[in-house]
Amino acid sequence: MQRVLKLVTVLLIISNVVLAAVVANYDFETTYGDWRGRGAASIALSDAVAHGGSKSLYVSGRTAGWHGASLDLTAVLKPTRQYKFEGWVYQNSGSDQVMIITMQRTYSGESRGWDRIAQVVAPSGKWTKIEGTYTVRASADELLFYFESENATLDFYIDDVLIVDLTGAMIFDFEKDLGNWQNRGAAKIELSSAVAHSGSKSLYISGRTSGWHGAQLVLTDILKPTRQYKFEGWVYQNSGSDQPIIITMQRVYAGESRGWDRIATVTAPSGKWVKIEGVYTVRAPAEELVFYFESDNATLDFYVDDVMIIDLSAPVGEAAAQFEFVAKFEDNLNGFAPFGRAELSRTDVVASEGKYSLKISGRALLYDGCIVDMTKFAKDLVDSNMMVIANVYHDCDEPKPFAFLLYTKTKKAENYSYIGYKIAMPKTWSTAVGYFNLKADDYEKVAILIVSPNAVDYNFYIDNFQVLGRQKAAQVKIPPDFGPVALKELFAEHFKIGVALPVRVFSNSMDVELITKHFNSMTAENEMKPESILRRDASGKIYYDFTVADRYIEFAQKHGMVVRGHTLVWHSQTPEWFFKDEKGNLLSREAMIERMREYIHTVVGRYRGKVYAWDVVNEAVDENQPDGLRRSLWYQVIGPDYIELAFKFAHEADPDALLFYNDYNEYHQKKRDVIYNMVKNMKEKGIPIHGIGMQQHINIGTSIEQIEQAIALYATIPGIVIEITELDVNIYRDNATKYEIPPIDLLIQQANFYRRLFEVYKKYSDVINNVTFWGLKDDYSWLRGYPVRRNNWPLLFDENYNAKLAYWALVKPELIPASSKEGSIVPGEAIIAGTMDDSFLQSPPIKIVVDGNDKLIARVIWGEDKLYIYADVYDATRNPDKDGVAIFVDPKNFKAPFLHDQAAYVIFWYNREIEKSENVEVERFLGPAYRRYSVEAAISMPGVKFSRDQLIGFDIAVIDDGKWYSWSDTTNQQKFSTLAYGTLKLEGIKTGKAMYGTPVIDGEIDDIWNKAEELETDVVVMGSLQNASAKFRVLWDEEYLYVLAIVKDPVLNKDNSNAWEQDSIEIFISETNHKTPPYRDGDGQFRVNFTNQQSFGTGASAARFKTATKIVEGGYLVEAAVKWSVIKPQAGMTIGFDFQVNDANAQGRRVGILKWCDPTDNTWQNMSKVGNLILTK
C-alpha cells in the first residue's frame, strides 16, 4: 500500500491532552490480587482456559445469581468520574448463558443499591467480551464491582479485566467538531448526522482514491516511549457487502526510516456498527506518530465514531509499582551496614538460595542488627504500598522473632516504626514479610532496619532481601506457615477450639489441612441457618434441603470433630414467607408455634447425636425495648414466649444436646443484664437451657474488663455453661477507617489483645467449654464486607495461610512486642506535698493491672514547662531497695530502637533514693500507707516547653521486689529504647459550669435559664459542623441536673428503628467523674428525640429522666432533667458530662454526630473523654 510522504508537512500537532488512564488491569497470570469470592463462590487461578496468556480466574461453587467474583473499588473510584469496565468471560455449560457486571454501591446518606453496568449472552465454549461504563455520581461508602450470572449455579471464567478512567480523557464522539482529526490523502472528512454509534453524529470519510486515504490523528507529542496503548473505535459502512477497515500507526523512530504498523483489522458488515480495537507499544523515542483509519477498498466511504486511546501503562505510581530492590549477598553486602554493635559478614555456612547469606553477629543490645539505606530511592517509593520480604534464619534452639523497621527522617521529624514482624522456627529458613507506604515529603533519610529483638545470645542470617512495588509484589507467592503448635492441643485442658466455615473449604486441600491441624469443633457459617435449609416448591409447600448441611456432619465425623448447630430461631436469614400462609398473611400464633415445632424437630432430630450443641435462639434481645426483647416476626406472631418454646422443642428433639441462647454485644452492661435476667429466669422456671453463647465480635479497643465481668456474671447462674461462639477481633475501632495493607502496629495490638482475652477465657475454663473463631483466615472473614466493605484482618491466620502474631500471642506470648499505649492528659498544676490536688482528677487515670488487680493508678497533668504525676502503688510488702516507680518522658515522641539524647527517665526508689538521667530535674514526695504507697512528682527538662495538642512519649512502671511492671513497654526496655513508649496527647478537656436553679420541665424557657452559661456542640464526631448542632445550658439542684438545648436541624426524621439514628440528643453523666471505662454506678446515657420519645443506654432509665420537647423554627427544643443517683451534689463538685446531637437525613439514616467534648463515638461505653462540669452557686 503506497503512502504519500509529503503529508508530514501539514500535520497538526496535538499537545496538552489527557489520555484515558488505567485504574486497574488484571490478567490473572500470577495472582488474582484483590479479587474475592462473593457469596458462596470460590475463586482460583486456572490454566484450563485463558483469553490472553495462560491463565484466567475460575469462579465456582455459586448457589445464587449474585454469587461471583468481586473487587472492592471504594477507595479507588472517585466521585463524579466516569469509568469504563471491560473483561472477557467464558463458560462451557453447553448452552448460552447471561453474564453480568454490576456495581454494588452505597452512596453517602443512602441505602445500599445495585447498578447493572452491562450484560452479555455468552455462548458455550467461546470467550465473549463484556463492557460498559459507570459514573460514580457522589461520594460513596461502598463501591463493589462484580461478575455474576442469571444462572445461579453456573461456573465460569473471567480474564483480562480492564478498568479505565474516562473523565477528561481524549475521547472523540464527533458531536460538536472534528477535534484534531485531519483528512489523509484525497479523503474528505466531515461531521455527519446520517448515522451515529452514540449521540447524533459521527465522522464521515469520503472521496478516497487509495487504500491509505482516510482520517488521521497526530500523536507524536502524546504517546511516550516504551508505553503500551489501546486504540478503539466504531466503524460503519453501507456499501452492500462486507468491507475490511484498518487502524494503523505511521511512525518514524529516531534514527530509522518511516514505517507503518497495522494495529488491527475488522471485517465490517454493511449497515451495522462494528468495533475495531488493538494494542500498540511505542518501542522507542519517536519523531513522528500518526494514527489513522484506512481500508483495503480504495474507494470505500465509511463512518467513524467514539474513538478512544487508553494508556495501558498505568502512569500513576508507575515507578513505585514496578520498583524492585534485591540483595542476595552473593558478591557483596549490597549496601547493608551494621546497626548498633552488630557485626556483618557474608557467609556460606547457611543460605536459602545461592551460596551466601548475610550473617549478623556480635550483638550487645536487642536492637543491634543490620540496616540498608534506601534514601536514593525515596521518590520512587512515595504513595505506593511497598513489600519488604526476606528469608530469615537463626541458630538458636527456640523460636525467635525478626522485625523490619522503617526509619524516616524529614526536616520536621524522624521516626522508627515496625513494618513487619515474623516468628521464625529454629535453624530453618522462614519468610518474613512487611509493608510500608511512604507519604509524599522531603526525605533526608529512608532506611530499613532488620533486628531480632528477643535476646542477643545467638546469630541470625538474612538472604534474598527484596523491596518490591505493588506489581512486583503481586508476583510473589508467600509459602504457608500453619504454626508449630496445634491450637486444639494447646488448649486441650481448657476448652475445645472451634471454627466457623463456609462449605467451599471442604474442596480446598490447604483449607482442610489448616482446619484439621488446629480445630476440634466446627460450625457452619451460614449453611445450617433456616434460609439455607428451608425450601418451597411451586405450590408453596415447604420442604427441607440438607444436602449442604450434611457435608459438615460428614467432614466432622471423618476428622474427629464435634459440630455446633447454628442457628434454629433467628430474626435474620429466615425467609419471610416462613411466617406467612399461602395468601401472604401472617400465620396465627398457634399455626406459627406448630411450624416452629416442626422445623426444630426436623432439623435437630436429623442431627440427633451428631450435633452436640445448638444455638437455639439467636439475637433475640433488644435492650432498648421495655421488656428487653427484639420485635422480630417471631415475637410479633407468637409473643415473647417463643424463646421458651424453642428451647422446649429442641430438647424434645435431642435430649442430650446442649442448648444455648446466643447473642452479640453480650458484654455491654445494659444488654448483659437483660440476657442474665432472661436466662436466669428461664433456668429457674425449668426451661431446658444449658448455656449462653457469647459471640464476641469485638475489636482491639473493646474492654476486656467488661468481657470478664459478663463471664463472671453469667457463670453465677446455676447449671449454665458458656461458649464463645463467633470470636473475631476487628483491627478497626470505627466504620470509616480503611487500610489496603494491615498496619503492623495494629496487628501487634491485636496480638496482645488476644493474649489478654485468652487469659480471661482460661481463668473461667471451668464454665467455658468451647471457643470458636468466626472464620478460618482473614480473607474468609465476614468483616471484609460488614459493616462496610474494606480489608480486615480479625483472625489468627492471614490470606497466605500464615500464622499471625495473634496466633503466636497464644503460643509464645513472650515473643510478641509491646503495644505502644495511647492516652491523653489535661493541663493543670499541683503542689508536691503528697496529696492529690483536684486538678489531677480531671485527667484520665493510667493503670497498671497485674493478675486482674490494680498495681498502680497514676494521673498526669501538664504545665508550660512541667509534668505533674500522682501515683498510688499497691504493694503489700516492702523491699525499700527494690521497690519503686520509674517514669520515662520523651518530649519529641521519637520512637527509636535506642535511648536518644532528648529522652529522660527518673526512678523513685522506696528508700527515697533517686536514679535519673542528666537531662531531667525533679521534685517528689513519697507517702507510705497501709499495703500501698504514693508518689507525687513534678518533672521538668531544661529548655523543654509543653503545649496543647503536643504528642509526647511517656511510660511509667512499678518495680516490686526488683520485678518491673510497665504501662506501655511491657518488655521493660525503656532505658534502652523509646520504641514502645506510650504516646500522651496534651489536651484541654472542656470545663463548663452548671448554675444552681430549678426550672419547670415543660418545653418553655423559664427566666432562670438566663443565669446558666451557654455551651455548644462544636466537636465533630461524624459529618461536619454543617450537621445538626445545639446550644445548651445546664442547671442543678439537690435532686436533678437540668439541661435546656436549642437544636438547629431543618430536616427532622425518626424513621429509623434504631433510636440513636433518629434526630435526637443524648446526655452523658458521670457523677463520680472517674474518667475510666467501663461505666460505673452514677454513669448514665440518656436520649430523647424531637418528638419526646425517650431511650436509654447503660445506667439510665425512665424513672430518672423527665423531658419535654417542642419543634421550633429551624429545629427543636429539648428541656430535660436527670435525677442524681449516687452523689449528694454540692457547690464546687465536678462531674463528668457530655452532650450529643444525632442528625438523621430525610431517608432516616444518621449522617452527623456533634458533641460538646468527647471526639469519639464511644461515649456510650467509655466515659474517659467526657468534659468536666462544675456545680456552681
Backbone angles phi, psi at 590, to 5 degrees: -65, -45
Q: What's the full length of the chain, in residues?
A: 1177
Residue type, 849: V
**CA-to-CA separations, 621 to 571, 589, 664, 705, 880, in angstroms, rounded:** 11, 20, 9, 22, 54
Residues 6+ apart with CB under 8 A from 402: 392, 394, 421, 422, 423, 424, 430, 432, 450, 451, 452, 460
Grid cell for residue 825 = 492528659
User: Is 726 labeled as catalytic in the residue annotation?
Assistant: yes
Gap between the Cα atoms of 348 and 329, Å rounded: 10
Q: Strand 1083-1089 vs strand 1150-1155: parallel, antiparallel, or unpaired? A: unpaired
Backbone angles phi, psi at 516, to 5 degrees: -70, -20
Q: Strand 963-966 vs strand 386-394: parallel, antiparallel, or unpaired? A: unpaired
Q: State the CB neighbour count (10 A cutoff) for residue 1128.
A: 7
Cα-Cα-Cα-Cα dihedral sign, residues 63, 69, 74, 80: negative
Q: Are 1153 and 1161 in contact (CB under 8 A)?
A: yes
Gap between the Cα atoms of 922 and 912, Å rounded: 13
Q: Strand 496-501 vs strand 521-524: parallel, antiparallel, or unpaired? A: parallel
Cα-Cα-Cα-Cα dihedral sign, residues 491, 493, 495, 500: positive
Catalytic residue, candidates 619, 936, 1071, 1119: 619
Residue 1000, SS3? Answer: coil
Q: What share of the chain is helix, strand, coil (3-state, %, to 5)?
A: 15, 40, 45
User: Is 822 labeled as catalytic in the residue annotation?
Assistant: no
Segment (H or E) for 558: helix 547-559
Kindly state the DSSP code that residue 180 receives in the 8-state scheme.
Answer: T
Grid cell for residue 167 = 473523565
Gap between the Cα atoms of 148 and 864, Å rounded: 62
Q: State the CB neighbour count (10 A cutoff) for residue 826.
A: 23
Task: Give every strand in the sheet of 182-184, ordered side by side.
Answer: 182-184, 214-218, 286-295, 243-253, 259-268
**CA-to-CA separations, 224 to 82, 248, 451, in angstroms, rounded:** 24, 17, 43
C-alpha dihedral, 624 to 625 to 631 to 634, nearest 10°: 110
Residue with cell 499541683: 830
Catalytic residue, candidates 86, 142, 726, 1071: 726
DSSP 795-849: SSB-TTSBB-HHHHHHH-GGGSPPPPPEEEEEE-----SSS--GGGGGSPPEEEE
Q: State the CB neighbour count (10 A cutoff) for residue 813.
A: 16
Half-sphere exposure of 1101 (CA within 13 A, CB side): 10
Closest CA to 1172 of 1065, 1070, 1078: 1070
Q: State the CB neighbour count (10 A cutoff) for residue 584.
A: 8
Q: Are 338 and 328 in contact (CB under 8 A)?
A: no
Gap between the Cα atoms of 884 and 908, Å rounded: 5
Grid cell for residue 93 = 455449560
CA angle 522, 524, 528 (to 5 degrees): 135
Residues 6+ apart with CB under 8 A from 930: none
Residue 96, SS3? Answer: coil
Gap between the Cα atoms of 941 and 414, Å rounded: 21
Q: Are 716 and 673 in contact (CB under 8 A)?
A: no
Residue with cell 429509623: 1056
Residues tagged active-site: 619, 726
